[in-house]
Amino acid sequence: MIRSHTFFLLSSAGLKKILLLSVAVLTSINLFAQKLERIEPMFWFTGMHNPKLQLLVHGDHIAASSVALTYPGVKLVKVNKVENPNYLFLDLEISPSAKAGKFPISFSLNGAKQTYTYELKNRDQSKGRIQGVTNKDFIYLLMPDRFSNGDKNNDVIKGLTETALNRDSMYYRHGGDIQGVINHLDYLKDLGVTTVWMTPEIENDMPHASYHGYAATDHYKIDPRYGSNELYKQYVETCHAKGLKVIKDVVHNHIGTGHWFYKDLPMKNWLNQWPKYTQTSYRDQPVMDPHASAADKKQMLDGWFVPSMPDLNQTNPYVQNYLTQNHIWWIEYAGIDGLRLDTYPYNDPAYMADWAIKIHAEFPNLSVFGETLVSSVASQAFFTSGNTVNRGFDTHLQGITDAVLKDAIYEGLNGKSGWTDGINRLYATLAQDFLYKNPNANCIFLDNHDMSRFYSMVNEDFDKYKEGMAILLTMRGVPQMYYGTEILMKNFSNPDGLIRSDFPGGWNGDKENKFIANGRTNKENEAFTFVKTLANFRKSSAALQNGKLMQYVPQNDVYVYFRYNNQAKGTVMVIVNPTEKEKSLTTDRFSERIKGLTTAKNVITGDNINLKEIKIPAKTTLVLELN
């Protein structure tokens, strides 16, 4: 009774005051809810070919705000609200006359205002940036977590989901980082490498086994266990200063479930959604099959790669803008020379063609190749530029990862002789190069981070190892070698972790240091020297850098091909004998390429060779420079 009476007196005397206070409190709470959390891209560049820019704005109920900006040459064309009130997408138009500088973007609600200071930077016109990667180059593929630990301070980062560091496990983080790669660039340069490709460096804040980098959780941030955005830029600049190029590995198809926008999707169709979890079929055929069902094609393109990697919906224009702008941002910011596109066949074809046009409009010299782990030359060629008759449009994809050629080399080294088997498989595979607009743009390789290592695949036969490496470094296309192949690192891909072992010597306290000759065995030094000799020979051989390929039908299980240009001098003759017996080769049938020359230099040994009749030891690839 007393409490009731007290309330009545209070409400009667101060009702107006309480109501005003309540409104103020609610307004304060509401304004607090308009918290601006991020804008991406966080800054942009003047002088871009495309004047349009779409900013993703994220913040708690940010869509309730009104947006304004004023800066000469920058126009806010449209404010896009989407399903999730925590997002806005701002369409800007940047005039060619816009100057570099900073300006505020304001977000207002009920008289309260938040601002984000946006910046336009000048494009970097320095020489040596965005050079492109060609068949003059030799790519070294490495996994930063497994190559070298250059900074122990970033081994474990508080606040990230995975804080375990365990080199005894193949699936935990090992502590390798960008600084570790920088520390060993001279090693790569000495080896004859011209280009470095790391598996993705951007943040992968996933609970387990995300060291590989293919489950992004922040597209604009280098994983702090590898370093920082600034360190990545420094890494690229250091590579360029040493005469090395840089390839960045990017993923269009999927993200990780730890991604910040997966946890708060802008809209339901930001991802490819299914009534129940549906995994891709991993079959590329429905994408190109004229008889394919729509259901099969949809499952291939829209099915999720694995449960922890949600599939992005690349038919969504907001997703398209986000991905394309992100890649443009990294290229311009860091000055990288090429891109490797992960899981290329799983992406929406129309979007990828549009992506390529927009990327090359900004960076005409940039090189791009797509991962296509498929089973035939025709399937690979289907995805490359120039196949407009079969596709109805041009993909504008310069090259692919040539897995079919890789398989043919293995067959040539390990298979038994037959009409289409053994070394004849390699010949027949190259004979189908007519399907490509430019086969020289293909990335050729013997292994990578997803498959058994080359040395194991030839049963640790050192002669076959040298045979294969000689083919790789003299063949058409852009050769790529997986880290550690030069020191005979081995293992099979089941389980995958074994093929991703640490490079010995990359960590302080390692019992062995394979980065230096004294730390390697005699056989490892022989392998290193073999690769180094051929790789550095490529740097001086115009025939290998930009020459044509002419091959001859294998006879007596001996396969011969030439790399040549308009001059007979400097022509490279490659002779492959995969058999267990020494072979003798007379050279009359090669007269159109030898052109009367009588001697050649063995590139590996330096010996002079009489071209009239050549002895080829068993399981040997001879590399001869005609002189």
**Coil, helix or strand at residue 610:** strand
447 burial type by CB count under 10 A (0-12 exposed, 13-18 middle, 19+ buried) = buried
The catalytic residue among 342, 362, 411, 447 is 342
**Coil, helix or strand at residue 520:** coil
Distance CA 420, CA 597 (A): 32
Q: What are phi and psi of 374, to 5 degrees?
A: -120, -175
Q: What are phi and psi of 235, to 5 degrees?
A: -60, -45
371 is catalytic: yes
Structure tokens at 381: 């060629």
Phi-psi region of 581 (alpha: psi -120 to 50; beta: other; left: phi over 0): beta
Structure tokens at 393: 């449009």
Structure tokens at 587: 């050279």
**Coil, helix or strand at residue 248:** strand
DSSP one-letter string for 575-605: EEE-SSS-EEEE-GGGHHHHTT--EEEETTT
Q: Cα–Cα distances in Å, from 472 out to 99, 132, 535?
A: 48, 20, 10
461 is catalytic: no
Structure tokens at 557: 């299980």
* Cis ω before 495 (30° cut-off from 0): yes
Q: Cα dihedral angle (453, 456, 460, 462), rounded to 10 degrees?
A: -30
Q: What Rg value do the Cα atoms of the chain yield, rounded?
A: 29
**340 has which bridge partners?**
249, 369
Closest CA to 575 of 552, 594, 593: 552
213 contacts 219 by C-beta, under 8 angstroms? no
The catalytic residue among 371, 433, 447, 467 is 371
Q: Which residues are catalytic?
A: 342, 371
